[in-house]
Structure 1
Amino acid sequence: MTALTDLTKHLRPGEVYRRRELARWSTAVDRHLQRLLAEGRLEKVGAGLYMAPRKTRFGLAPADPQKLVEAFLGDDRFLIVSPNAYNSLGLGTTQLCNEPVVYNHKRHGRFELDGRWYDFRMRACVPAKLSAEVLLVDLLHNLDRLPEDQSSVLPKALTRARGMNRKRLAKAVREFGSARAQRLLEPVLEAPLAAAA
């Protein structure tokens, strides 16, 4: 078995690899990478990132964003939020954004991965999953970035907050909220339960 064959047996379609991962299975990683790229058995999807192509009936599938971001960060503690998700809150937003935000502990800035731009933002605490409460807190944090009129979205967001689970909303504000989101939601969280219902 050649060293290149040994490397290729570790490749799984759709998986994203860092160069240093591939180096574990290769005696000449750069030479092997060039050959695998030329043969189409690997695709370069970012600086030092490679994906084993996955074929579908529609052609080659793009990299899964979760796998791509995890390989890029070398960490699974992150949350990808598409501003399009704000539309699901029913506040009248009509976001059509193709640049997801990645809240994480390691990187800050805009990076292109697999032909798509991602906005990486460092946060001390990153929720494990995107709940409606976390999404609302994120919307309030990014209120000035919305194309819609803030004065029309904000009252709807606060009304929606009053109908949410107060414990989960308070946790989202405490762990993930910016000072702005905390200030805006303080009256909702401190209102008597009967008034908030």
Structure 2
Amino acid sequence: MNKLQELKKHLKQGKVYRRADLSKWSKSVDRHLEELLKDGTLQKLSQGLYFYPESTAFGQAPPEEEVLVRSFLKDSRFLVTSLNAYNALGVGTTQLYNQKTVYNHKRHGDFTLGGKTFSFRVKPHFPRKATPEFLLVDLLNNLDLLAEDPTEVLAKVRSRATTMDTKKLKKSLVDYGNAKTKKLLEPVIAA
């Protein structure tokens, strides 16, 4: 068995690899990567990031978002969300956005991974899962990014805040709200 075949034995379909991951199994990583890309075993997602696609009845499945981001960050502490998530709150947001936001502790900036654009934002605190309370606070933190009229959205956010679990909303506001968001929401919660 040649060295390339030996390397292929370690690869698993549906998994994302960094160049450094492959160097554990190959002394000629760059040459082997070139061959694996050429024969279609691996696909390049971004600089130093590769994917071994899984074949399905519908063709090759793209990498799972969570796996992709975890491999890119080399960390499992992140939250993937989108401005689209605000639409479920019922506060008048209806636009659809192509970009995902990744709250994390390591990277900042916009990166294209596997053909998708992710906006990585370093935040000291974020929940493991996006709750409605977190999303309401996050919406106000990002109000200037929305296509809708901020005045109309703000009025509906204030109304929606009165129907939410006050204790959970206060905690989300303290933990994740910026100064402007706290100024807008604290009077509504206190009332």
Q: TM-score, normalised by structure 2?
A: 0.95
Determine helix, strand or coil for the equivalent of 2:17. Answer: strand
Q: Which residue of 1 aligns with 2:53?
A: 53
Q: Which residue of 1 aligns with 2:18?
A: 18
Cα distance in structure 1, aligned partners of 2:173 and 2:64 = 29
Determine helix, strand or coil for the equivalent of 2:95. Answer: coil
Structure 1 unaligned residues grouped into runs of 5+: 192-197
1:83-102 residue pairs with structure 2 within 5 A? Answer: 83-102=83-102
1:35 offset after TM fit, Å? 0.6
Cα distance in structure 2, aligned partners of 1:35 and 1:73 = 26
What per-residue deviation string (whole Å, max 9, x for no partner) do you get for residues 88-129 of structure 1?
A: 111111121010111111111111110111111110112111
Structure 2 unaligned residues grouped into runs of 5+: none
1:3-42 residue pairs with structure 2 within 5 A? Answer: 3-42=3-42
1:2 offset after TM fit, Å? 2.9
Determine helix, strand or coil for the equivalent of 2:147. Answer: coil
2:89 is equivalent to residue 122 of structure 1: no
Q: Which residue of 2 aligns with 1:63?
A: 63
Cα distance in structure 1, aligned partners of 2:19 and 2:172 = 36
User: Amino acid of the residue matched to residue 176 of structure 1?
Assistant: Y
Cα distance in structure 2, aligned partners of 1:10 and 1:125 = 36
User: Amino acid of the residue matched to residue 37 of structure 1?
Assistant: L
Aligned Cα root-mean-square deviation (Å): 1.2
Deviation beyond 2 Å, 4+ runs, structure 1:
188-191
User: Amino acid of the residue matched to residue 34 of structure 1?
Assistant: E
* Number of equivalenced pairs: 191
Q: Which residue of 2 aligns with 1:195?
A: none
